[in-house]
Amino acid sequence: MDFVDFLLARSSMPRLQAPAPDQHTLNTMLQAAASVPDHAGLKPWHFIVCEGLGLKRLGDIFEQAAIDNDLSERDIARAPELPLRAPMVVVITTRLTEHPKVPASEQFSAASCAVYAMQLAARAKGFDSIWRTGPYAHFDQVKQALGVAESEHIVGFLYVGTAQGESPQRSREVSLPTYEQWR
């Protein structure tokens, strides 16, 4: 597929199953993440790749956070199941550096690009994914359990695996955003 067609056809897949990306594909995804625009080369990201027992561990963290934050019984019951919606969940967090020319917002932008790059690389290798956040990305207890400092952020949980059914193909026309042209 032409690269531009590939970009325009990008889509997320919430229904994922095994197999997860193999180690080679995971390395490619991480390389793609490390290839994004990065002001001053600060590498302002960190990745926690969860599979197998790692997904259970993440689910336990979600469950405890749901309890600590007084979520509903239903949410507490559901919390440990959330990471099991894919055979691999990559937690993308920031690793911010004090820099005179690169504020934290720019570093967050670079880390966000890293999530997108991983999604594209996974897709190029035949795997599907969806970028999720939700309340668990913002709970202090989750950050703490994942070793994310208070001043840092969870940029996303990238759920990755094999599409259940056909990979979604964007049939909709990608409409242009409203924009101004200054000439």
Ligand X SMILES: Cc1cc2nc3c(=O)[nH]c(=O)nc-3n(C[C@H](O)[C@H](O)[C@H](O)COP(=O)(O)O)c2cc1C
Nearer to ligand X, 166 or 180 (CB): 166
Burial pattern 94-131, b for ≥16 Cβ within 10 A else e, equals bebeeeeebebebbbbbbbbbbbbbbbbbbeeebbbbb
Work out which of 19, 126, 134, 147 binds ligand X, going by CB under 6 A.
134
- Give residue 52's region: left, alpha or beta (phi > 0; psi -120 to 50): left
* 131 is a site residue for ligand X (CB under 6 A): yes
Rounded distance between C-alpha atoms, residue 155 and residue 132, angstroms? 9
Site track for ligand X across 153-172, x = CB under 6 A = ---x----------------
Which span (63-71, 78-86, 93-101, 131-139) binds ligand X, by CB under 6 A? 131-139
# of chain residues touching ligand X (CB under 6 A): 8
> HSE-up of 178 (CA within 13 Å, CB side)?
0
Please identify, using beta-carbon distances, which residue of 40 and 163 lies nearer to ligand X: 163
CB of 133 to ligand X, least distance (A): 4
Determine if 64 is a binding residue for ligand X (CB under 6 A): no
**Contact between 12 and ligand X per CB under 6 A:** yes
